[in-house]
Amino acid sequence: MRKKRSRPIKYEVADDIQAAFEDIVRTLDLSYIDLDNVVCVRSFGSSARRVIARCHGMSKVLQIAMRIKAYYVLEFISERFDNLGNKEQEETIIHEMMHIPKNFGGGFRHHDHVTPKNVKWMLEKYRSGHDKSGPPTALRAAAKSERSAGVQKCPTE
């Protein structure tokens, strides 16, 4: 019996999520995160279950071979992330951001650090230090208008 071939996952740069991510990093004063080396993308067509987002780091061996500094990609699965409320979207962004270690070396912080308690604490710290009328509250509207206007596609499509 042949396995049904799945459609490829499509990726696009998510400027709306990127803006929210950068606002969170600046508001929380997480200066160890190099904003030039983190990109937020939205994916479409993932068959992963119970996954809203993923953090991808670049291994040390790839950094050395390519002669570049560490790089992170935060992937947000459109089918799940875009349907969340603003608070849940912010919580998801913070959760993925917390996987980035303080040495910003391409590695990954695991769920012994990225716990619901720690994520909630960071979310509360962010919300208390942020003007609620700012960019994160407009995430869903921006995502819809971005898609209707045509977005920048990643070269992997």
**Rg of the chain in Å (alpha carbons):** 16
CA 40 to chain centre: 5
What distance in Å separates the CA atoms of residue 69 and residue 96, rounded to the nearest whole number?
Answer: 20
- 75-132 tens-digit pLDDT: 999 999 999 999 999 999 999 999 999 999 999 999 999 999 999 999 999 999 865 4
- 36-47 tens-digit pLDDT: 999 999 999 998
Let me know: does 40 contact 18? Beta carbons within 8 Å.
yes
Tell me the whole-structure pTM to 2 decimals.
0.80
